[in-house]
């Protein structure tokens, strides 16, 4: 009897999660699909930050901001060979966020500057 009760509770819980995912527009079958991750190196960096794993784009907005959200660099570049080389030699040492926005993708990642 205890096993049947436990099984019933587990099944009801799974149905609830499935219903919540449907209400939120989440397809449980595709929920486990991994998204491509970009690689940022060297990290920490001194002169240039390389970002690999991007989608090629004719026009991408690149914004670098400090940990307080202040924009310190802003450019519009073409992304070729799924990579971006970002010159950062004029930045002060610290932690920075890179936002890359194009028609193909929107990426946010961070890097450290020595």
Question: What integer best gives the mean pLDDT of the chain?
Answer: 79
Q: What is the pLDDT of residues 50-82, one digit of tens each?
A: 999 999 999 999 999 999 999 999 999 999 999
Mapping DSSP to helix (H, G, I), strand (E, B) and coil, where does residue 114 land? Answer: coil
Structure tokens that stand for 55 in this block: 């989608």
Which residue in the block uniquely carries the two structure tokens 């940022």? 40
Evaluate if residue 87 carries a pLDDT over 80: yes
Global pTM?
Answer: 0.67
> What's residue 1's pLDDT?
54
Rounded CA gap, 78 and 62, in Å? 10
> What's residue 37's pLDDT?
85
Backbone torsions φ then ψ of 18, nearest 5 degrees: -60, -45
């Amino acid at each position: 009897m205890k096993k049947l009760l436990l099984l019933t509770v587990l099944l009801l819980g799974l149905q609830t999660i499935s219903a919540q995912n449907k209400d939120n527009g989440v397809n449980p079958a595709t929920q486990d699909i991994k998204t491509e991750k970009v690689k940022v190196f060297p990290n920490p960096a001194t002169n240039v930050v390389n970002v690999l794993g991007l989608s090629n784009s004719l026009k991408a907005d690149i914004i670098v901001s400090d940990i307080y959200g202040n924009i310190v660099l802003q450019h519009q570049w073409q992304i070729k060979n799924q990579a971006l080389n970002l010159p950062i030699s004029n930045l002060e040492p610290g932690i920075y966020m890179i936002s890359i926005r194009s028609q193909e993708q929107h990426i946010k990642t961070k890097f450290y500057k020595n």
